Structure 1
Amino acid sequence: MMHVYRQLLAAWEAGNEVILASVVQTCGSTYRKVGAEMIVDRSGNCWGQLSGGCLEQDIVERCLQLLHTEKPFQLVEYLRYSTLDPFADDQSGCNGDMRILLTRTDWLQPYRSELERALEQELAISHLIVLDGPAELVGVRAFFIDGCPIHTDRGSEWFIQSLPASGLSGLSTDEKTGAVYYRQQVPPIRKLLLAGAGNDTIPVVRFATAIGYQVHLCDFRSAYLEPNRFAAADVVLHQIGRNRNDWDGLLARFSPHTPFVAMSHHLEYDRLSVEAALQRGLRYIGVLGNKSRLRLFAADILPEQAERIHCPVGLPIGAETPEEIALSIVSQVLSFQNRPGRRQGDGSEAEQTIQRQTNPAERGQPVSQRKGTILG
């Protein structure tokens, strides 16, 4: 699964018009939380998922309808938590409310090179749109990279400059104007670094790319770096020699938050890569093998450095086969990166309450039959 915004860039490159669907509020039990996104092109193709499958067809239909209008956005509610009788219909879906914002993306297209560069360099990216308030502000949009405005709709500069330069995804109200706006904080492309490209990395690549990681494979053996060995969509291959300078140069291009796993089955190569990863300050360093193997090349590791090393790498699930070991590795990496406070929507933040604006006549109807509340 490729990052949603890389899919957006690919759709633009193919000449497609695209609608971005974002979860802006939730209440009760919902499949996804605030900040989750999917995109829909003019052919009805979609990337990403906002529910277990019960809302997607309706979302696609609404996106296609929006493409045939001049409106910049639509705001749609799917209400189950606030219905009078949640068991009165076909009992499909979660017992929760979701408010989903559908927005056109054509205004962002002129900045696709800036967006692509910011994604690659792991810069902070966000965009916002005003949904309610003074008539002259409704529909105003802005696009930011590292807190700096790249685009502001003409005539609204004074308003955008008065808002906080950054923030988590969610709805906010400007106290001075009363304008309600939604800010989308674009998540960075998740990257995973592997030292070694042997056969046991193939299932690691398969599992990691399936959940959205861009995998960077490093090895000094050119035969291991044949692209056809890794039938995944988002893999970058690096031939890194058996010297420290090569590793230092490569790791300087990655954030310290990038997880790293040494699994080359070559003692000296693992030693060089782990030393470089420690020096770079990487937060998660996994080492394949047992602790006695680690002590062969890491005897001088300081206690504060040892806290960042996971050896043996992977969750203790009794893994034996390459696929089971790969599953344990990717699961531990994901668990580490998703620990509370690291990711919006992980359950550590208070859910936002949806204002009840449903039509009483629609309560108890299946989600697929509800018209929704469109405020845009």
Structure 2
Amino acid sequence: MKDWIQIVNRLEQLLLENNELALATVVHVDGSAYRRPGARMLVTGDGNWWGAISGGCLEGDMLKKAQMAMMTQQIKLVTYDTREDDPFQLGVGLGCQGLIDIVIDPIRSHLEAFCQAMKQAVSSYEPGVLGSEWDENDLSSFQYVYSPLSDIHSFDTDKKAILVQKTAHYRLIQGKSTLLEYIPPMPRIWIFGNQFDALALIQQINLLAWEIHWVGNVQKMNLQGKKSVKQVYDWESEYQILPDDSLVMMTHDFDRDVFLMRKLSSLETFAYWGVLGPQKRMDKLQGQLNDEGIDISELRKKLSSPIGLDVGAEGPEEIAISIISEIIAQKNKRDGQPLKFRDKPIH
């Protein structure tokens, strides 16, 4: 999500400034590659770029090709093949063993359409599908179409599959190519607590460009922290938790946690919910709620407490990383084990 937000924000600004631009998009990968279909690189005529199409081995060459596309104002389809040990093939020995097709689009009207589509996508709180379509024999036909989940009645079988699989898919049928990309809802996280570890978590999450909502005593919140979140709320404020939101309770206050659990115990759907503290504290919290007639036994099965992945984290920054790692793993239905033990493809 961060790449999309960064590219869209920069693209919008550069279009207003009437800069010379090109957008490189990975549309198809066969074999191993550092980036997957949908990875993008925005290039300006003066040689600056944002985003990435590889781990660094292709960007230099892509910059030159993008500048050439800007000069000719023609869309280009570039293929890099690093599957064989050809000493004259760019990318050999740099970690990739695959074939990568990349479309370079310098057409301003196309980039304006892409910017509009992606602005709609990255600001949405529902998932959707971005379709990039073009004719293999006429690259000038390149177009972008974004379809939010609310338009699902108009989705074909492939688009519905993309929503389920949460991935990207390239297809070529009778000379017409289509890249369908799953665009997740804007990641939102709720952080409950005023202490310095909450600020460390906010700082780490800002690196991911997630939308942060901070709940606590607003008067005691760090001023810099308040500037770097979407919105702040007092403990008693009303707020709406969406089904794809993540929640992190790190209040360091047992009574406050009882209050929050009482307030939020009716939540049925959420992406992640973690509560700071050991198992014994969670047992005590559950017992307190049971005494009040609130049964959270089923909810507790969905909670992460103690919070975070078991990486031996010490200190607020490391703990923040372990929490974020657990959120990402849970969202992607992964177990957080080392990749060397995974017997399936990484992506």
Q: What TM bracket, shorter-length normalisation?
A: 0.7 to 0.9
Q: What's the counterpart of residue 11 of structure 2? A: 11
Instruction: Say if 2:133 is the partner of 1:129.
Output: yes
Partner-residue secondary structure (3-state), 2:266: helix
- Could you list the per-position Cα deviations for residues 305-324 of structure 1 after superposition, in whole angstroms to 9, with x for gaps in the alignment? 11210001011122221122
Partner-residue secondary structure (3-state), 1:139: strand
Q: What's the counterpart of residue 109 of structure 2? A: 106
Instruction: Say if 2:60 is the partner of 1:57.
Output: yes
Looking at structure 2, the residues matched to 138 and 347 of structure 1 have their Cα atoms a distance apart, in angstroms, of 41
Alignment of 1:114-263 (within 5 A): 115-123=118-126, 124-132=128-136, 139-146=141-148, 167=162, 168-174=167-173, 177-226=174-223, 228-229=224-225, 235-242=229-236, 246=238, 249-251=239-241, 254=242, 256-263=243-250
Partner-residue secondary structure (3-state), 2:38: coil
Relative to its length, the structure with more helix (as a share) is 2
- Could you list the per-position Cα deviations for residues 67-92 of structure 1 after superposition, in whole angstroms to 9, with x for gaps in the alignment? 23332x32211111144569998733
**Alpha-carbon spacing, 1:290–1:278, altered in 2? closer, same or farther (3 Å):** same
* Contact 1:205/1:230 (8 A) holds in 2: no
Looking at structure 2, the residues matched to 198 and 106 of structure 1 have their Cα atoms a distance apart, in angstroms, of 48
In the alignment, structure 1 segments of 5+ residues that lack a partner are 150-159, 352-376
- Could you list the per-position Cα deviations for residues 14-44 of structure 1 after superposition, in whole angstroms to 9, with x for gaps in the alignment? 5245433222222333212223233233443
Q: What's the counterpart of residue 300 of structure 2? A: 306
Looking at structure 1, the residues matched to 65 and 44 of structure 2 have their Cα atoms a distance apart, in angstroms, of 12
Query: What percent of counterpart residues are identical?
Result: 22
**Alpha-carbon spacing, 1:277–1:108, altered in 2? closer, same or farther (3 Å):** farther
1:21 to 19, 24, 49: 24
* Contact 2:218/2:232 (8 A) holds in 1: no
* C-alpha deviation, 1:162, in angstroms: 8.2
Amino acid aligned to 1:192: I
* C-alpha deviation, 1:112, in angstroms: 5.4
**Alpha-carbon spacing, 1:270–1:103, altered in 2? closer, same or farther (3 Å):** farther
1:30 to 29, 33, 40: 33
Q: What's the counterpart of residue 332 of structure 2? A: 338
Partner-residue secondary structure (3-state), 1:31: coil
Amino acid aligned to 2:179: Y
Partner-residue secondary structure (3-state), 1:316: coil
Partner-residue secondary structure (3-state), 1:334: helix
- Could you list the per-position Cα deviations for residues 115-158 of structure 1 after superposition, in whole angstroms to 9, with x for gaps in the alignment? 5354323231413221415x5x9614241232688xxxxxxxxx
**Alpha-carbon spacing, 1:126–1:328, altered in 2? closer, same or farther (3 Å):** same
Instruction: Say if 2:317 is the partner of 1:290.
Output: no
Partner-residue secondary structure (3-state), 2:191: strand
* C-alpha deviation, 1:332, in angstroms: 1.2
In the alignment, structure 2 segments of 5+ residues that lack a partner are 336-341
**Alpha-carbon spacing, 1:323–1:337, altered in 2? closer, same or farther (3 Å):** same
* Contact 2:192/2:249 (8 A) holds in 1: yes
Q: How much is the aligned-residue C-alpha RMSD, in angstroms? A: 3.6
Looking at structure 2, the residues matched to 107 and 88 of structure 1 have their Cα atoms a distance apart, in angstroms, of 29
- Could you list the per-position Cα deviations for residues 339-369 of structure 1 after superposition, in whole angstroms to 9, with x for gaps in the alignment? 259xxxx996798xxxxxxxxxxxxxxxxxx
**Alpha-carbon spacing, 1:84–1:62, altered in 2? closer, same or farther (3 Å):** closer
Looking at structure 1, the residues matched to 20 and 219 of structure 2 have their Cα atoms a distance apart, in angstroms, of 41
Query: How many residues get paired?
Result: 322
Alignment of 1:62-77 (within 5 A): 62-71=65-74, 73-77=75-79
Larger RCO (CA under 8 A, 6+ residues apart): 1
* Contact 1:259/1:284 (8 A) holds in 2: yes
* Contact 1:148/1:165 (8 A) holds in 2: no
Q: What TM-score results when the alignment is normalised by the length of structure 1?
A: 0.72
For structure 1, which segment, 179-188 or 198-207, has the greater mean C-alpha deviation from structure 2 after superposition? 179-188
Q: What's the counterpart of residue 314 of structure 2? A: 320
Amino acid aligned to 2:34: Y
Partner-residue secondary structure (3-state), 1:279: coil
Looking at structure 2, the residues matched to 196 and 279 of structure 1 have their Cα atoms a distance apart, in angstroms, of 20
* Contact 2:213/2:232 (8 A) holds in 1: yes
* Contact 1:207/1:326 (8 A) holds in 2: yes
Q: What's the counterpart of residue 373 of structure 1? A: none
Looking at structure 1, the residues matched to 274 and 316 of structure 2 have their Cα atoms a distance apart, in angstroms, of 16
For structure 1, which segment, 194-203 or 214-223, has the greater mean C-alpha deviation from structure 2 after superposition? 214-223
